[in-house]
Chains A and B, each alone.
Chain A
Amino acid sequence: GAGVSQSPRYKVAKRGQDVALRCDPISGHVSLFWYQQALGQGPEFLTYFQNEAQLDKSGLPSDRFFAERPEGSVSTLKIQRTQQEDSAVYLCASSFSGMHGDTQYFGPGTRLTVL
C-alpha cells in the first residue's frame, strides 16, 4: 500500500521567497506530524494535527512558519520569507490514531535549500 508521500522532494529557494511543502499521509490516518531535520541532527518536532485540528504548534521556530490541514488529510507546511537557517529536510509523519505509543510512519522528506 502507499506510504506517506511528500512533494517536492527537493526545493531550492532564494532568501526571502515563500515556499510550500506538501504531505500526503497514509489514507485513514488521523494524526499528522511535521518535523525539521537539520544536517547532522535528529528530527525536531514542529507541529501536530489530529484530523483538521492543529493541536500543537509549539515547535514552529517563528511566525514565518505556518501549517494547515483543512480537510483532515493532505497537509501543507508554508514558510514565508525564507532564511538560510531554514535549510533542512522537512519530514512528515502520520499515525493511525495519534494515541500515545502509536507508530508514526515517515515520508521521505523535502530537502529545502535556501540560497
Chain B
Amino acid sequence: TQLLEQSPQFLSIQEGENLTVYCNSSSVFSSLQWYRQEPGEGPVLLVTVVTGGEVKKLKRLTFQFGDARKDSSLHITAAQPGDTGLYLCAGARGNNRLAFGKGNQVVVIP
C-alpha cells in the first residue's frame, strides 16, 4: 500500500508551459520533501515543507503544503527542458525513514 499517491504519473508538456503535480496521502506527516531524480542518479532534495499551508519557492518551482499536512503540490512556471525528471515526494516516518510516492515523470519538450 502506497502511503503517498502522486498524480499524474506521467506528464509531457511543451517548453514554456506551466504544470502542476500532486502528492496526496490519508496520513498526516510532520513534513514532506520533494526530490528530483534523473536517470542513473539518486534523488536530489529540492525542498522540505513543514507548516500546514506553507508555500516555498525555488526559482520557477512553487511548492505548497496542504493545511491539514496530508497533501502537497509542485507548480512549475514556464517549464524548461532542464526541468525534465522524476519528481518524488516523501514523508518522514519513525527513525527518519522516508516513505516515497511513485513519482511524477515530467518531460518538457523543446
> Is the contact region of chain A dominated by helix, strand, or loop, or is it mixed?
loop
Find the A residue at minimum CB distance from B95: A56
Cα A93 to Cα B43 in complex, Å, equals: 10
Whether A41 touches B102, Cβ cut-off 8 Å, given contacts A101-B31, A108-B40, A108-B41, is yes
Which of chain A's residues have a CB closer than 8 A to the CB of B43? 43, 91, 106
Residues of A16-44 contacting chain B, CB below 8 A = 31, 33, 35, 40-44
Which of chain B's residues have a CB closer than 8 A to the CB of A98? 95-96
Chain A: number of interface residues, binned into ranges: 20 to 34
A23 to chain B, nearest CB (A): 11
List chain A positions with a Cβ less than 8 A from chain B.
4, 31, 33, 35, 40-45, 48, 55-56, 59, 91, 93, 95, 98-109
Contact between A55 and B100, CB atoms less than 8 A apart? no
Which of chain B's residues have a CB closer than 8 A to the CB of A40? 102
Whether A103 touches B45, Cβ cut-off 8 Å, given contacts A41-B102, A108-B40, is yes
Cα A84 to Cα B54 in complex, Å, equals: 43
Which of chain B's residues have a CB closer than 8 A to the CB of A103? 45, 48
Whether A42 touches B100, Cβ cut-off 8 Å, given contacts A93-B42, A104-B45, A106-B43, is yes
Cα A107 to Cα B43 in complex, Å, equals: 8
Q: Could you show 13 A-B contacts with beta carbons less than 8 Å apart?
A: A41-B102, A42-B103, A45-B93, A48-B95, A48-B96, A48-B97, A56-B95, A95-B96, A98-B95, A101-B48, A102-B96, A103-B48, A106-B42
Contact between B97 and A56, CB atoms less than 8 A apart? yes
A111 to chain B, nearest CB (A): 8
Find the B residue at minimum CB distance from A56: B95
A26 to chain B, nearest CB (A): 12
User: Beyond the given A91-B42, A108-B40, could you list 19 further A-B residue pairs with CB under 8 A, ordered by the A residue number?
Assistant: A33-B97, A40-B102, A41-B103, A42-B2, A42-B101, A43-B88, A44-B100, A45-B93, A56-B97, A91-B43, A93-B42, A95-B96, A100-B30, A101-B30, A101-B50, A101-B92, A104-B96, A104-B98, A108-B41
